[in-house]
Each structure stands twice: as structure tokens, then as C-alpha cells.
Structure 1
């Protein structure tokens, strides 16, 4: 538990003094001698003496909660969360410098992504994955559109095109409990350095095992989607269609925006022109396999249909929540209980 106003905790020092004050008042009242005409009446009066202490105890507890609420305590609370996530996967390979889409494929992808951020509802989390010869999460899913725009503007083109790696990284972000390991998929099982010289089984136990799951209908996972902006010509990494099959088995739709034209590379005069061509057949198959849509246009209009059909998934997450209101409510209930018992037992609020 943490406190937003910890300096108010000094008020809690009053609490130990109150029981002492209460005992002093009881002793003072006891000094007033009372005469009873019957011993039986004395016994009857003393039979329920514990009741007289219940309302003061409840009042003391209520005051303790009120004083604690002054410090504004917070604690991690597990709450239900209806989450919808879209991951933008943007190709930053050198082939994106081709200018068959004006001013270039790269600029067109950036403008399309930023236009999409303007249109997408603020309740939807959006993340950014960039890929060339490798893939990385440039911005985790967030509702902060400013951070996303900054991440999009900061991309730098690199060599290579690992479209499949980008899809796998997106899936690892969407399903962290599946323990999808891109390195293991690329290079095969490996042993941890810390387990050298020990039994291989110990090394395997140290790493989370991939979560077993039953494949679902493609496109059936409505709480998330991937938007892939690329010219699609894979040169390295996981096979694009193998990664697309992983997404399809998890029900995740991949909506694809193909950037460029099949013969647009001719303007560049590069010797390896095939790697600059738009691989439209593969991109179309990725979208078809996963239940997504293929667009050959880098416009916000083409992307608008992506989020219109999205639902949300009820998840549980820990959120730092202020508990002051809850403490005040509990204090109010204790005060009501103290007053009610006092009236019930003694006919007055005491």
C-alpha cells in the first residue's frame, strides 16, 4: 500500500489516546456512588455491561478509517478491463524508399498510420511494431496518440524485410501468456547460460513452456487486430505465410495495406530489382488466410473498416487504485451501526 499524502498519517497518533480518554471517563463516572434498593437490580444492570462498550468501539474504528483516508492510500487492485487492441506493423526496409507511391512508400505508410490514429476511437489501444531485417516493438499498445505519432516519425529505414517476424512479434504482444519465442522459432531450442553443465531438463524447466491452445476459426478473435503496412517482399526471417497461419489459428485478423506497384521498382535502377517489387500475391494471401482485408491504398478511408468491427475482450489487470472513498464508506457504515445499536439497546444515541 502507498499513500499520496503520507504527511497526513501523523493524525493516526491521536488514535491511541482515545481509548485512554474513554477509560478515564468511565473511571470518573464510577466514582459517583449510586445506591440500589435491590441486589437483584444491580445484577440485572451488570448483566449487559459489555453492550455499553460496543458503540464507542465502532466509533473508534470509524475514526481510524477516516484518518487513514486523509492520507489517500492506494493499492494494486485487480479489476475487470474491456480491452481492444490494434497493432500497426510498419515496414521500414530499404525497399520502402521507392517512389512509385508519392512521395515514397515510406512516407505514404507514415501518413496512412497517422491518419488512422486520428480516426480510431480513443478507447482503443494502439501499438507500433517496426520491421526490416528484424522486428521490434517501437511503442507498446497505448491510448496516448502523441507517443505513437512520435514513434512513427522517428523510424529509420534499414536493410532486410522480415514480414513474418513482425507478425510473430505482434502475436507475442497480444498473447503474452502463450510465451511465443521468436528466437527459438528462428534458431531452434537453446540452453540458458546459467544451466551449462547441468541436465538439459533443468534448462527447459527454467523457461516458460508455450501455452497449449486449440486453434480457433480465423478472424474470430474480436478484441484485437493487426494492420500490416508493407510492400511485402520477404528477404529474411520467419516465412510470412507460416506467421500468418499462427495468427489465423489464434483468430487474429491481419488487415494489409500494400504499398507500391508491381513495376514501381523500375524507377530506382537497382541491380536487385526483384526485392523492390510489391509482393501483392503474398500480402493478399495473408489477409485472406486470417479473415482480414487487403487494400492497395495508403489512406485512412481504407483503414477505417478495420476498427469498426472490433469488439473487446474482458481481461483482468492490476491497477493502482485510491482506496479513500472505500474507507470513507466503511467508516459511514460503522457510524450508522454504532448509532443504531445505541438506540436499540439504550433508547438514545450515546
Structure 2
């Protein structure tokens, strides 16, 4: 509650002379009936009426205080904050080919990618985020959603066993992964649409080439951030056995194509050779792609003096009734 005219509160200083005048007047008041002595009256019992002899005066003071408050115009404020959040639609396209099991990142490439992606998702509560997985073919692990708890539970289950078990085709279909992610963003109505592509190999299978899928993304205004993971040449020292017809375990990485994918769509290309570097890359993307938040405040004031005025009227009426009846004094 606020006061529109707080200057009127200075009138409360008048209470000091009013109280002084009241009690001074009582001491100087000439008695109506003069008696030789008042000693017998001192032995009379103290009644309720005697104890409340000053009540009308204090009621009058209370009325005065309430009138001053009315003059100060107390007001209540109804504040409405309207937050308009414009999030970003982000599709994570993650490579789950066998070579993602290499341990040049801690504890391995796929686990490091999952851990860093989990932190990235947790830091963007206003965004629609989805997850595309690809090996020799691509599929949607989670469509665009703001239910990040559900997304994270699906991300936890991501592994490279699908290729090992022959559930998905061998190879690395980067173009298919991009195309799958772009398909989800094509229906998006947000101004900012992003694909974060993470892979450790080059495109060696699939019906759609990476550059064809990139052209699709470019035409739809979708930026692609490309993250290449892995230490060059590490695969030659690794004991990971590739699946039949799967060259991704050799970790051949065509950086020229990956750089072109990012450049054509207005994104950026990154190379992560350690878990720390991968974490820093996601933090960099997080800073580049910020959600816009617009806050509009509506403030409306309501006059609240009416209640104080009503209470003052009731107390004044009570005071007058007491003065004229039960607490009436002789002139």
C-alpha cells in the first residue's frame, strides 16, 4: 500500500498539542458543584464509567488520525507482469556409430557427448529441443519438446549398441542425420532454428548427401553448428573392431565438408579433441544462441481511503453516543 499525498501525515503532529490541551483543561476546569471536602468520594469504588472517562477523547483522536489517513489517500497497486518468452528450436543430431566408443575423450566419445549435451539442455529451459540419432541411417529419438525431463531420460539411453547389434545399418549417414533434424525444424514457427551436429566420421552412406541436406537447412533459415569430436589418428591405436562394411570405426573425418556445412548455414565449425574442449564448445554455442525474453509490467492503482473514512464515521458516531448518554458529563 502506498500514499498519494503523504505530506498530510504532518497533520498528525497536531495530536501533541491536542492531548496537552485536553489534560490541561481538566486540571483547570471549575467544578459545577462546590463542596467543603471531597474526602468521602475518595472511598467510593472505581467503576467502569470512571475508568473510561477519557474514552470519548481518545475516540476523537482516533477519528482525527483516520481523517488524516484519508487525506493522504492510501492506494493499493495491482501489478501484473507479463513475460513473453521467445525460445529457440534446437535439434541435436548425434552420431552413434561404433567409432563413438573410442576413448580419446573421457570416458569415451559417446558418453562425453551425452554428458555435455545434458548440461546444455538443462541450461536452456525456454527452448524446444529435440534429438536425432544417426549411424548408417537416421531416426528421431525425441521430437522438439519443452519437456526436458522426458528428453533427458531419452538421452540417457543413447548408446552405440544399435550398430553392434545390427539394428541400424553400418556407416555414417551425416546427410540423413541433418535431413531428419531439418524435417522437425521445417514445421517450426520460431525465428531462430538451430541444428547442433556432432560426429567423428565422414559421410559414407545414406540417400541424402550432407551438402544437399545443408541446402535444405539454408533455404529454411536453419543454422547448423558442427562439432567434430576425436583426436586425429587415435583410431590407429585403438582396439575397437569395426562392424562389417562400417568404416566409421576408422574415424575418417572430412573436415572440409563439415566446415562447409557450417559456413553455408551461418553456423560455426568446432573441433573437440577432449571432453573439456567439447564442454567449452557447447558453452560457446549457448552464448551465441540466446533466448529472447520480453517482460511487460502493468501497474494499476486502486484508492483504498474509503475503508478508513467509513471506520472514522463509525467511531465518531460511537463517540457522540457515549458523550450524550453513558459518559455524559455535567457542564
Q: Does the 8 Å contact 2:110/2:159 carry over to 1?
A: no
Q: Partner of 2:93: helix, strand, or coil?
A: strand
Pick the aligned partner of 1:243 from 189, 213, 220: 213
Q: Does the 8 Å contact 2:130/2:142 carry over to 1?
A: yes
2:146 — aligned with what?
Answer: 143
Distance 1:116 1:93, change over 3 A: same
Distance 1:226 1:156, change over 3 A: same
In the TM superposition, residue 266 of structure 1 has moved relative to its aligned partner by: 0.7
Aligned residue runs from structure 1 range 260-275, under 5 A: 260-269=230-239, 275=250
2:88 — aligned with what?
Answer: 84
In the TM superposition, residue 289 of structure 1 has moved relative to its aligned partner by: 1.7
Pick the aligned partner of 1:302 from 281, 284, 303: 281
Pick the aligned partner of 1:170 from 146, 166, 181: 181
Pick the aligned partner of 2:263 from 270, 276, 288: 288
Aligned residue runs from structure 1 range 152-171, under 5 A: 152-157=155-160, 158=163, 159-171=170-182
2:54 — aligned with what?
Answer: none
**CA separation in 1, counterparts of 2:85 and 2:121?**
22
1:278 — aligned with what?
Answer: 253
Q: Partner of 1:130: helix, strand, or coil?
A: strand
**CA separation in 2, counterparts of 1:301 and 1:256?**
14
Deviations 1:246-281 (A, max 9, x none): 212222111111110221111225585884233323
Unaligned 5+ residue runs, structure 1? 1-79, 178-220, 314-350
1:68 — aligned with what?
Answer: none
Deviations 1:68-116 (A, max 9, x none): xxxxxxxxxxxx9945211111100112112222321111211121121
Pick the aligned partner of 1:103 from 107, 111, 114: 107
Confirm whether residue 117 of structure 1 aligns to residue 121 of structure 2: yes
Distance 1:286 1:251, change over 3 A: same
Confirm whether residue 94 of structure 1 aligns to residue 64 of structure 2: no
1:74 — aligned with what?
Answer: none
Q: Matched residue pairs, number?
A: 191
Q: Does the 8 Å contact 1:129/1:137 carry over to 2?
A: yes
Q: Does the 8 Å contact 1:96/1:105 carry over to 2?
A: yes
The two structures, once aligned, show a CA RMSD in angstroms of 2.7
Q: Does the 8 Å contact 1:266/1:273 carry over to 2?
A: no
**CA separation in 2, counterparts of 1:153 and 1:100?**
21
Runs of 4+ residues deviating >6 angstroms: none
Q: Partner of 1:278: helix, strand, or coil?
A: coil
Deviations 1:33-85 (A, max 9, x none): xxxxxxxxxxxxxxxxxxxxxxxxxxxxxxxxxxxxxxxxxxxxxxx994521
Q: Does the 8 Å contact 1:98/1:268 carry over to 2?
A: yes
| TM-score normalised over the length of structure 1 | 0.49
In the TM superposition, residue 129 of structure 1 has moved relative to its aligned partner by: 0.7
2:36 — aligned with what?
Answer: none
Q: Does the 8 Å contact 2:127/2:291 carry over to 1?
A: no
Q: Does the 8 Å contact 1:262/1:280 carry over to 2?
A: no
Aligned residue runs from structure 1 range 339-350, under 5 A: none
